[in-house]
Amino acid sequence: MSTADRRSVAGRTESVWEVFARKAYDEPLHHVGTVTEDDEDLALVSARSIYDEQPWIHMIIVPRSSIREAIRP
Amino acid sequence: MSTPTQTDAPAEATAAMASLVASLADNKAALGRRYAEWAISAPTLESAVAAAAMAQDELGHARSTYPVLKQLGVETAEEDIGGGHRLALLDDELPDWTAFIAANLLVDGVLTTFVAACAGSSLTQLAQRARKILQEEGTHRVHAEAWARRLCRAGGRERDGLVARLRETWEEAGRWTGPDDDPGFRAAMASGMVTQSPAQQRELMRSWLVALLGAEGVEIALPEPPDWSRWDAGLRRWSP
């Protein structure tokens, strides 16, 4: 994991999670933002709290460190 | 102010439920305010947003619970909303983050356990509100459990501070449903208004929290309250 994927908060290293959501079953998941938490459950709570601007029917979080680039910019 | 009740339940049952529902709403209003204060000072920005979201939920639950009192023959004036039937620990700002998490676990937990015991209540308005409250409280529980695990794993002062705050909070929150032999509560159960006794609700809380902390190697006991001498049944409040 690169240092860009983690940040240190009050001496604790936290992970970045990418947040994806959709409003309808026939829509693809869209990237809506990130949350920074070392705990998976708290990351889920944060994602729901922070990105509540739309009536989502589905939201997922993915640790940034799990993403692999097929094509690099 | 008193108005005709909209239930066929005995007066003793109706009075007990009116006391519980009024205090449920007052405690949720107070808890919402206490959560909101931490929305500007939580340890991380993510926790601050979660605190703000939980505050909004609690204030919404309080606002939607007050009208249930009308079915119990109690007319609630605007000035009664956010009244004093609340736990003493919610009178003032929660002093530190471990106190916040202890309230998130035990105050929120005790109130939600009562709401769950009313999900099939003969008080139809309360049963209807219970479904939405329980759905939103699921997130509060996830937040509280995750922070409890985090503080336990931190060890030392953070873990010991949490356990101390939990013991203090249980002194008040554990008594909120009242003594197990309360005749009004028994009458409310007999009338189908609430399905679980005070002791049964305390046992649900105890088994959940003891297992949660036990999985982190931390022992805690949440005893049945041995002493009710400082319990104010009218305000549903223990004087610490």
Q: What are φ and ψ of residue A39, in 5° steps?
A: -105, 130
Is A13 in CB contact (< 8 Å) with chain B?
no
- Residue by residue, DSSP assigns B51-107 as HHHHHHHHHHHHHHHTTHHHHTTBPPPGGGTT-S-S-GGGSS---SHHHHHHIIIII
For chain B, the average pLDDT equals 93
Interface of B with A in 6-45 (CB under 8 A): 43-45
Query: CB pairs below 8 Å between A and B: how many?
Result: 47
Instruction: Summarize the confidence of residues A58-63 as an average pLDDT.
Output: 97
Is A44 in CB contact (< 8 Å) with chain B?
yes
Strands A12-22 and A58-63: antiparallel
Instruction: Summarize the confidence of residues A56-73 as an average pLDDT.
Output: 94
Nearest to A42 among B52, B53, B146 (CB): B146
Instruction: Summarize the confidence of residues B39-55 as an average pLDDT.
Output: 91
Q: What is the pLDDT of residue A1?
A: 41
Task: Return d(Cα B206, Cα B52) in angstroms, integer.
Answer: 27
Which tokens belong to B209? 């929290």
CB contact under 8 A, B142 and A39: no
What's the pLDDT tens digit per position in B134-166?
999 999 999 999 999 999 999 999 999 999 999
Q: Answer with the residue of higher pLDDT: A12 or B229.
A: B229
> Over B211-226, what HEC string results?
HHHHCCCCCCCCCCCC
For residue B44, the surrounding DSSP H or E stretch is none
Q: pLDDT > 90: what percent of chain B?
A: 85
Q: What is the pLDDT of residue B5?
A: 62
Helix (H, G, I), strand (E, B) or coil at B162: helix
> Residue B170 pLDDT > 80, yes or no?
yes
Is A27 in CB contact (< 8 Å) with chain B?
no
Instruction: Summarize the confidence of residues B190-206 as an average pLDDT.
Output: 97
What's the pLDDT tens digit per position in A29-43?
999 999 999 999 999
CB contact under 8 A, B146 and A52: no
Q: pLDDT > 70: what percent of chain B?
A: 95
Which tokens belong to B40? 């500007």
CB contact under 8 A, A48 and B49: no
Half-sphere exposure for A59 (CA within 13 Å, toward CB): 21
What's the pLDDT tens digit per position in B82-116?
678 999 999 999 999 999 999 999 999 999 999 99
